[in-house]
Every structure is written in C-alpha cells, then in structure tokens.
C-alpha cells in the first residue's frame, strides 16, 4: 500500500498486482533511496539455496581433492563420424563379446586407456551434438574438460566444424582434433591440418599446441592414440581433481520417463559420492536414490566424481543441465523443488506480462 501511495505521488496510478515497467521501478527505488537490482533466475536460485545453507560456489580444501577422470565431449560436422567414433571408443574397451557385458545407453560412459604405464579412465558424454553442449553451457553447467573435434579427412572443415571450434573456444575448453575416415579413398589428413590453421588451430607438427590424431572409426585405427592425446592434453592444462567426500554435486545429462521405472536420470557426479538412499534435488525433481545403474547396465551402490550413473527415484524428469544436489534429507529436497516450482511459475507469469508488478518488488 505504501508503494502504491508513493507511486501515486510520482504520478503513476497503480495497484499492487498491476504490471509496471523497469523505468517506473527505477523511479520508485530512487524515491525510496534504494538501488534497483534485477535478479536473474540463476541468482534467484542461488539465493534460494542459500536459505537452505547450500553454497554452490563453496570451494573444497586443497587436501580433500583427489584425481578424477577427464570428461570428454565429441563434436563436429554432421556425418563426420561422431557416433561411430563414440561406438569405436566404447567397443574397444567394453568388448562386444564380453560375457555379461551388455552396454547400456545412459548418455555417458567410461573407458580405460593405458597411458604412460598406468590405467587411466576417461568419461565420454555420448549424447553428441552442439545443442546439448550449448544448452548446458548456457545454463552454466559445463561438464566438459576436453572436446574432441571430429573432422572427416575426405570432407575437410565444414560449417559445423567451425561452430564446434567456436563452442569450445567460448567455453575455454581445450580441444583434440580427430581426423577421421582415414581408411577412405580420397582421405587427405594433411589438408585438414592445413585448413585448421586458418582458424588458429595449429597442429603440434607445425609448432602449434593442438594435438591432431588420424583415426578410422570404422577400423579402430588410431583410436587408442586419440585417447592418449586426450589424456596428454588434459594433463597438460587441467586440474582434474574433486572432493569425493562431501555432499554430492552433479549435472543431469539426460533424463526420461520410463514405463516401468518412472523417472530415470543420468547424472554425472562432479564432486562427492552419490549413494543409494541419498536425498537429492535436480531442478524441480526431488526424491531419494532408489537404485542406480552404471554404463554397463549393472546395479551400483555408489558413484564418485566423473562417474555417470542412471538414477531412479526422482519425483519427475529433470532437464539436461540441471544441477544435481544432495540434501540433508528428503524434506529439504522437496522444499527446494517446491520453491523452485513457485519461482518458475512466477517467472513464466512475469514473462507473459513482460513486466513486473509491485508484488515482485521486495527490498533486500
């Protein structure tokens, strides 16, 4: 009512539920001696989580950090072989004939590669495509440490190759170039290297700092070398460490409604260790982890940093890019989800009105 009165004196006839434009709000704030601060949905969510004592930016103590596998996304022009390469990488490790080795598509998988005498694991996001990458990045949920850019050696650089390069650059993610289809007649891997220099991606062979590896996703040639190049690139420039002993933070990378199992969501754990029974919230979905399966389709009890698992037990289907949070108990998870739902509803209404009402106006 006070605000309505002040507005009246400012020459604006308004009711509490009426929409006003930003300028009017600025006038109002000015009049009251406040600085107007329009809060983004991300900030709003941060504030919401703070009321539950959850700080997403909280840093871990150095001594709690342990090595984790790098997370890799494959990008490139359509038909240059992303899907086939992801299959080759996976089958090279899982082995199609392996007893009980039914691979499960859960949106990500892990493979092991010997590197400098050590067995190293790598996590691949296998929902390739720039859209997923862009969508997640737009939501601040970048889950990629290294990007593999696939370029077919018989086709060379194409529009989506450049797009992929730009995505990686904008996200400040190091790249490795997989020069694919070298088994094909007319394949010209040298030309790919040459073309790439025009985009400031220079192979080590020319004194640059990007690794190029010739591969054939069809024959499997070069795939192990590609994985080694990814590990070298990751080790050279990245701090691959996370705290496995803390409450879980992760990102939903894909999710769906399954007839028999209800909501199933693949989460890539970023820190902490997710366990069956944990209370979680992801976007507006909440619940307890009822069961988890890994990329081999096996039931698992826990998943640490860089491990993808498919989780059952959420109340609804989260979106790709939603942050997975472990909470103290399921009541907290539910409260956060419900508050988010309310905020989303408000945001949608405000968007529909394209303006704010006095009810959106509160003092900090």
End-to-end CA distance of the chain: 18
Based on the shown chain and the rule CB under 6 A, indicate whether residue 177 belongs to the binding site for ligand GDP: no
Could you tell which of Mg ion, ligand GDP, none binds residue 180, using a CB distance below 5 to 8 A set by kind? ligand GDP
Based on the shown chain and the rule CB under 6 A, indicate whether residue 184 belongs to the binding site for ligand GDP: yes
Residue nearest to Mg ion (CB): 83
Q: Is 81 annotated as a binding residue?
A: yes
Q: Is 362 annotated as a binding residue?
A: no
Beta carbons within 10 angstroms of residue 353's beta carbon: 13
The token pair at 311 is 């989780």
Where do contacts with Mg ion occur on this chain (CB under 5 A)?
82-83
Based on the shown chain and the rule CB under 6 A, indicate whether residue 93 belongs to the binding site for ligand GDP: no
Pairing label, strands 274-275, 262-271: unpaired
Q: Is 181 annotated as a binding residue?
A: yes
Q: Is 129 annotated as a binding residue?
A: yes
Query: What is the C-alpha separation between 198 and 18, in angstroms, rounded?
Result: 55
Closest residue by Cα to residue 264 from 323, 317, 330 = 317
Q: Is 82 annotated as a binding residue?
A: yes
Nearer to Mg ion, 83 or 346 (CB): 83
Based on the shown chain and the rule CB under 6 A, indicate whether residue 83 belongs to the binding site for ligand GDP: yes
Q: Is 180 annotated as a binding residue?
A: yes
Could you tell which of Mg ion, ligand GDP, none binds residue 290, using a CB distance below 5 to 8 A set by kind? none
Query: What is the C-alpha separation between 223 and 212, in angstroms, rounded?
Result: 12
Could you tell which of Mg ion, ligand GDP, none binds residue 304, using a CB distance below 5 to 8 A set by kind? none
Residue nearest to ligand GDP (CB): 81
Query: What is the C-alpha separation between 164 and 246, in angstroms, rounded?
Result: 34
Nearer to ligand GDP, 80 or 137 (CB): 80
Q: Is 87 annotated as a binding residue?
A: no
In Å, what is the CA distance from 73 to each residue of 14, 219, 303?
Answer: 52, 21, 20
Q: How far is the CB of 84 from ligand GDP (least distance, A)?
A: 3
CB 163 within 8 A of CB 349: no
How many residues sit close enough to ligand GDP to count as binding (CB under 6 A)?
Answer: 15
Query: What is the C-alpha separation between 214 and 7, in angstroms, rounded?
Result: 68
Instruction: Pick one of 1, 13, 78, 364: the residue that binds ligand GDP (CB under 6 A).
Output: 78
Based on the shown chain and the rule CB under 6 A, indicate whether residue 18 belongs to the binding site for ligand GDP: no
Closest residue by Cα to residue 203 from 216, 190, 219 = 190
Based on the shown chain and the rule CB under 6 A, indicate whether residue 217 belongs to the binding site for ligand GDP: yes
Strand partners, 288: 279
Based on the shown chain and the rule CB under 6 A, indicate whether residue 54 belongs to the binding site for ligand GDP: no
Based on the shown chain and the rule CB under 6 A, indicate whether residue 90 belongs to the binding site for ligand GDP: no
Query: What is the C-alpha separation between 208 and 194, in angstroms, rounded?
Result: 12
Give, as one character, the DSSP assignment of residue 344: H
CB 81 within 8 A of CB 152: yes
CB 218 within 8 A of CB 187: no
Could you tell which of ligand GDP, Mg ion, none binds residue 79, using a CB distance below 5 to 8 A set by kind? ligand GDP
In the complex, the residues that contact ligand GDP under the rule CB under 6 A are: 76, 78-84, 180-181, 183-184, 216-218
Q: Known binding site for GTP: residues?
A: 76-83, 126-130, 180-183
């Amino acid at each position: 009512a006070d605000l309505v009165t002040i507005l009246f004196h400012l020459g604006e006839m308004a009711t509490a539920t009426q929409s006003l434009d930003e300028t009017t709000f600025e006038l109002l704030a000015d009049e009251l001696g406040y600085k107007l601060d329009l809060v983004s949905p991300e900030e709003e969510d941060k504030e919401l989580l703070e009321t539950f004592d959850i700080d997403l930016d909280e840093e871990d103590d150095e001594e709690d950090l342990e090595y984790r596998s790098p997370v890799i996304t494959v990008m490139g022009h359509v038909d240059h072989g992303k899907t086939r390469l992801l299959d080759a990488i996976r089958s090279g490790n899982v082995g199609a004939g392996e007893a009980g080795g039914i691979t499960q598509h859960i949106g990500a998988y892990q493979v092991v590669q010997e590197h400098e005498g050590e067995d190293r694991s790598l996590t691949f996001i296998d929902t390739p495509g720039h859209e997923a990458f862009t969508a997640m990045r737009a939501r601040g949920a970048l889950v990629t440490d290294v990007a593999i850019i696939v370029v077919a050696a018989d086709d060379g650089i194409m529009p989506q190759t450049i797009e992929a390069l730009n995505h990686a650059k904008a996200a400040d993610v190091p790249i490795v170039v997989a020069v694919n289809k070298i088994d094909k007649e007319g394949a010209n891997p040298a030309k790919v290297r040459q073309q790439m220099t025009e985009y400031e991606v220079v192979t080590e062979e020319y004194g640059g700092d990007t690794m190029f590896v010739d591969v054939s996703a069809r024959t499997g040639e070069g795939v192990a070398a590609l994985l080694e190049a990814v590990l070298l690139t990751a080790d050279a420039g990245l701090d691959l460490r996370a705290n496995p002993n803390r409450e879980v933070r992760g990102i939903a990378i894909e999710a769906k409604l399954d007839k028999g199992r209800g909501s199933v969501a693949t989460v890539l754990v970023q820190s902490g260790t997710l366990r069956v029974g944990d209370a979680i919230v992801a976007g507006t979905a909440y619940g307890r982890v009822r069961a988890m399966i890994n990329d081999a389709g096996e039931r698992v009890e826990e998943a640490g940093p860089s491990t993808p698992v498919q989780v059952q037990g959420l109340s609804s289907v989260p979106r790709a890019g939603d942050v997975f949070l472990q909470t103290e108990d399921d009541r907290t998870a539910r409260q956060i989800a419900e508050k988010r739902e309310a905020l989303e509803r408000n945001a949608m209404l405000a968007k529909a009105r394209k303006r704010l009402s006095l009810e959106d106006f509160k003092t900090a």
